[in-house]
Chain A
Amino acid sequence: MSPPSSPSPSSPPRLDNSTSSLISPPSFPPTPSRTTSQLSLASTANAHLSPPSTTEISPRRRAHSNPNVSSRKDRSVPSTPTKSKNSNNLLNAPYGSLALRSRTSSSTTTPTVASSSRSLFEGLPGSAPGSGGNIDSKDSEGLSINTIASASGSGNDTPASSRKGKEKEKQPVDEGVEGEMSLSIGDVRKGLRELVRRNTVSAAEARQNDRMEDPKNELKDTKDDPKPDPDPHVINDITKHSISRYTPRRYYVLTNAGKPVFSSHDNSPQDNITELMAIASTLISIFQEDDDKIRCIIKGQTRIGFLLKPPLYLFAVSDWGEPEHVLRSHLEYIHLHILSVVSSTQLSRVFQRRSNFDLSRLLEGTETFLKKLIDRSQFDFSYLTSTLQPLRMNPATRDMAGAALMPPSKFNDLLYVLLIADGRIVTLLRPRKHAVHPSDLHLLLNTLASSSTLRSSETWLPICFPKFNPAGFVHAYISYVTEDVGLVFVSADREAFEDLRGWKSIVMEKLENDKTLTKITESIPLHPYTVSAIGCPGLRHFIYKSRTYIQITQPEWEAPYTEDSIDRKCLITLYQKLHDIVHGRSGQTQTYKLVYIRTEHEACLAWLTKPFELYLTVSPQLSKSAVVAAANTVAKWVLAEEGRVFLKDAPVF
């Protein structure tokens, strides 16, 4: 955990209110009159008076309009409307409302043709309305492909379509068939995609209309485009505190055979999940047939994000309005946690042997770990940023703990040595040649947090640290010396238990002799701090990430951001949006060093500098110069507190 050869700047960046001194452009607009600069704020002269004023980032990037189902592959590929342009009437499809589309274009515009030329699924003579291949979505939670068509026979006039070398004669029309269909395409896959695309387009148009009706959302830039495409980076939708949003996210894991592995919500009947998994795997396979990967489905406010890690598929359902990569990062953690239990090698081995392997039974008992992980990832910014938040404490005590934990040289296979208090890192020692990946530590800390057994007895736990080495297991000697304080020695030697156990008593002796242990215990209740400690009126909350130490610090959440409140969910989503914007995680062509968003309820600022990232929340009444002042105050405060809030000089051995 030591800083890399440290680009530690001598003077911290300062956010200057009048000129943009250290910050590269786009600079913080100092006055409302300059808001047409790159970073456009919703600050017309009366912005302060119009409560639900929203901000969006210009310039518009038409390229990213409407990323409904974005599939990764074909960024540069132009859209493929020509493929199915002729009137291939296959089925009469009622429009389900599922918006699913592969992102076929990142250049040019989205296919705005809704129904004219791509009528794959239209105009079937003799078919009843309401029939047909219908992808629609049931409730907010899920997706379903309803694939029973009520009026489609087998067309005997069909040109035989061959697929994969399989040739079969068409059947004559069956008895009892009602309705016929003319058919000229033998590929339901294309049909499904087409259907979905059409829905998407209409959904997109609907959304566009919405936007047109709300002129407040349409900020300047008229010169750019009179009728711009919806920009995915618009933030307005999450700034409304809507009760219908923020239902608990749902997470699912399945095998690539469509068998359920894990579901975050098992109160729903088993049957539903079993069927849902089959549907999900079918949806995924539809894209896979084209060597494509489905990334997400957007339906109304609901986003279904996918992560494909064969032999496992993961997906999450959310209506929080977070950027796409947030869901993905949650799914990544779930995947990593599964790997921490079985390791990547074993996982692929077992599925190579049997593709029908029922992993859920192998993972039996790990549900609690996964659920805990999901709980923590909802609000803990250290997950998204892949950072740590160590125990806030006196650096001298930290150093003493580090000294006591310096391992004797005889332990060749020792990987990490950790001292943990109240679930937070006090200090962490590592071999000089091995870095620590925060994700691995999150997995370890989460494992400890989820199991009181691990915290109540000496344990020898095989665990895979996927970021360190996904192929195999290391072993963790875990011993909680008090209720809250634990020692973890990670070794690659699976026979090292007794040795490490012996060493532990030596360590304990040292920790007790100089009262370090007591001091650590006393530090635990002092870890949380309130935002008032910064002494900055109007400041409500902030998250400060040191890029040097890859650690964060943040004050306690205070009212109105209480636990499980809509306000907290809304604010964390705002932070995530800001994080997305400053890092360009959604493929933005342009990133910003400074972003200001104001909602009815709060104003947020993201400020990216070389040594740190700062996300802060203030009262919406605060003037912009006051926000800038607050940002500077926080940065200064953290710099002064660095020794306490961060683990700065972790010893190496």
Chain B
Amino acid sequence: MASRKKVLLKVIILGDSGVGKTSLMNQYVNKRFSNQYKATIGADFLTRELVVDDRVVTMQLWDTAGQERFQSLGVAFYRGADCCVLVYDVNSSKSFEALDGWRDEFLVQASPHDPENFPFVVLGNKIDMEESKRMVSQKRAMTWCQAKGNIPYFETSAKEAINVEQAFQTIAKNALAQEAETELYNDYPDPIRIDSENSQNYGCNC
């Protein structure tokens, strides 16, 4: 199939409330950062175009609300995602421990056809804070990522734009790799038999 047309990737961003999902997205799309915290209600959508291996890719970023009370969009929200980005705050063990739950939730709701190989990416955000505040070591995070099937891991700062571009580039690349696998639909169409019991009247006799 010709791929002149842009590829569209649906990317879901998940993680606890306040870990910086919206900030990461804003940094990536708008190159902006704000210290003010604004909880996302329901969902927020942003788009960015990028080039991966000579292909123009449109990323449709679905930023979700970390707060549980807003997470009721359910299956429809996760359906047909191409990549899932799990975000935690390196200064909060709790947000890291929650990753398991987020991942499971995604797999249950989205039920991707090949859950083993579904592309996840983990981002440890807020590495710009003082080292003394850091609660989750890089090693701990990477161990978890390895255990979950070698999920790519990035340490980021939305505030200082550290690793954000790289992380999203990897997200797009991994999503695209998945996408390429089953792009083809070359089933031969089923023939129709007009003499079969197809002769219902369609209400119109013209």
Contact = CB atoms under 8 A, between A and B. Distances in A.
Interface of A: 1-4, 91, 132-133, 145, 147-154, 158, 160-161, 163-164, 166, 168, 170-171, 174-178, 183, 185-189, 192, 255-260, 270-271, 274-275, 277-279, 281-282, 284-286, 288-289, 343, 345-346, 349-350, 353-358, 360-362, 364, 386-388, 412-413, 415, 431, 433-438, 462, 467-469, 471-474, 492-494, 549-551, 647, 650
Given A91-B41, A161-B68, A258 B60 contact: yes
A2 B204 CA distance: 10
Contacts of A163: 68, 71-72
Contacts of A275: 45-47, 60
A161 B205 CA distance: 57
Prevailing SS type, chain B contact patch: loop
Interface in B38-74: 38-49, 58, 60, 62, 65-74
Contacts, number: 244
A471 B189 CA distance: 9
Contacts of A158: 69
Contacts of B2: 364
A274 B77 contact: no
Contact of A388 (B37, B45, B201, B206): B206
Given A148-B22, A364-B5, A437-B202, A256 B72 contact: no
A2 B72 CA distance: 54
B204 A435 contact: yes
A289 B37 contact: no
Max count, chain A CB within 10 A of own CB: residue among B80, B179, B194, B206: B206
A386 to B, nearest CB: 7
Nearest to A5: B205
What's the interface size class on B, roughly? Answer: 35 or more
Nearest to A436: B206
B195 A412 contact: yes
Contacts of B198: 434, 468-469
A387 B175 CA distance: 46
Interface in B88-123: 94, 98, 101, 105, 110, 112-113
Contacts of A413: 193-195
B3 A350 contact: no
Contact of B69 (A132, A188, A256): A188
A357 B80 contact: yes
Given A161-B69, A361-B5, A550-B204, A271 B18 contact: no
B35 interface: yes
Given A188-B65, A412-B195, A473-B192, A177 B81 contact: no
A472 B191 contact: yes
Given A4-B205, A346-B189, A152 B199 contact: no
11 contacts: A145-B43, A148-B22, A278-B45, A282-B42, A285-B77, A355-B80, A435-B206, A468-B202, A469-B192, A549-B206, A647-B206
The 10 A-B residue pairs with the shortest CB-CB distance in the complex, in nearest-first order: A257-B80, A285-B76, A174-B18, A356-B80, A186-B69, A550-B206, A355-B80, A271-B47, A278-B45, A472-B192
A472 B189 contact: yes
B8 interface: yes
Given A154-B18, A171-B16, A188 B185 contact: no
Given A152-B41, A188-B71, A492-B194, 14 more contacts: A160-B68, A168-B98, A255-B80, A259-B60, A259-B80, A270-B58, A354-B113, A356-B179, A360-B5, A362-B1, A387-B206, A413-B193, A471-B192, A492-B193
B41 A188 contact: yes
Interface centre among A153, A161, A171 (most CB of B within 10 A): A171
Contacts of B189: 343, 345-346, 462, 472-473
Contact of A282 (B73, B112, B185, B204): B73
Contact of B81 (A145, A356, A435): A356
B206 A259 contact: no
Given A148-B41, A154-B18, A188 B70 contact: yes
A171 B18 contact: yes
A188 B199 contact: no
Given A189-B73, A288-B76, A361-B5, A168 B68 contact: yes
Given A353-B182, A355-B80, A187 B194 contact: no
